[in-house]
Amino acid sequence: MGSESDKASGEDRLIARYFGPIATHPGALGLSDDAAFLTPPPGCDLVLKTDAVVGGIHFFPEDAAHTVASKALRVNLSDLAAKGATPLGFLLSLALPSDIDDAWLTDFAAGLRGDALLYNCPLFGGDTVRTAGPVVVSVAMVGSVPEGAMVRRAGARPGDRVFVSGSIGDAALGLALRKGAAWPLDAGQRQHLMSRYLLPQPRNALAEAVRTHASAAMDVSDGLAGDLAKLARVSQVAATIDVASVPLSGAAQAAIGADPAMLDTALTGGDDFEILCTVPPARAGSFRAAAQAAGVAVTDIGAIEAGEGARFIHDGQPLTFRRAAFSHF
């Protein structure tokens, strides 16, 4: 065998160098094994989610590598938040083209490490493979909830109030700006919208409030209109939204003021990574208080009713959208 056999392979070196410092969970075994182990928290269910981001589809090739890493983690963290779950850790599958260099990997790992610390969500393990195509970052995330307590999309009941966190439409408008939209915005407004596209702000601080008070929840990733329609469909109820109540940032209001068609984009465009949930009316006050204590803005935007479908009422009239929800297919 000789000395060659005692050296780690190129992939092993790459993993140890860049990703070892993020694998702080004892079950990750310092990434020195085939797999990781996890002793589940007693009395808990695990919550499992995977989402991928792809170069040229979910991010621009020129985006900084640390924002790519953050986005890949945060789109998954957002789902856990909406399910009322606490992150436990994640697996990373990384397909890299041959022109990825040390500088990119160093920056990518820095972004991953920062968010792993910020969200208390260490790396369990991963796989790094070559591809002739763009970067593909697949994250599989594991979280926990008390047994039986995962908040589902199904569960909304007539009479429930509909809440969203944060503000809606910023990311879709930020993407439009990246693609060349020329609205008369000030630098701060442009920056706000573009950063909301670049770097989701998942509402994990709201997870416990959602778990405690919501009858149904999901994260808004494919546009408020389409995602609400999904929640209503699986809950077998109707939803009516007062468009004037939908929380819009000042920047989004300015963009819509400059081009009223952007209201459609804001409500259907996707990448919000806010939480959409329904709350029984008797719990609405407690939910608001819990959200305030968690430091996350929530807004009552409408009501659940018997029936089916999601209606958005604007100036007394139902809105018709150009398309219901974002889909790459």
Interface positions, 142-171, toward a second copy (CB under 8 A): 142-143, 145, 147, 150, 152-154
**164 burial class (0-12, 13-18, 19+ CB within 10 angstroms)?**
buried
Question: Does residue number 294 form part of the binding site for a second copy (CB under 8 A)?
Answer: no
**CB closer to a second copy, 81 vs 193:** 81
- Answer whether 84's CB lies under 8 Å from 72's CB: no
Given CA atoms 329, 142, 299, 278 in this order, what sign does their dihedral have? Answer: positive
Range 71-110, binding a second copy (CB under 8 A):
79-80, 82-83, 85, 91-93, 95, 97
Range 223-242, binding a second copy (CB under 8 A):
225-226, 228-230, 233-234
Secondary structure letter of residue 3 according to DSSP? G
**CB closer to a second copy, 282 vs 322:** 322
- Answer whether 216's CB lies under 8 Å from 151's CB: yes
Question: Does residue number 123 form part of the binding site for a second copy (CB under 8 A)?
Answer: no
- Encoded tokens for 87: 């992150």
Strand, coil or helix: 74? helix
Question: Does residue number 307 form part of the binding site for a second copy (CB under 8 A)?
Answer: no
Tell me the closest approach of the beta carbon of residue 151 to a second copy, in angstroms.
Answer: 9
> Around Cβ 197, how many Cβ atoms within 10 Å?
23
**CB closer to a second copy, 120 vs 327:** 327
Question: Does residue number 47 form part of the binding site for a second copy (CB under 8 A)?
Answer: yes
Question: Does residue number 269 form part of the binding site for a second copy (CB under 8 A)?
Answer: no
Question: Does residue number 51 form part of the binding site for a second copy (CB under 8 A)?
Answer: yes
Distance (Å, whole) CA 74 – CA 85: 14
Distance (Å, whole) CA 257 – CA 263: 9
Question: Does residue number 32 form part of the binding site for a second copy (CB under 8 A)?
Answer: yes
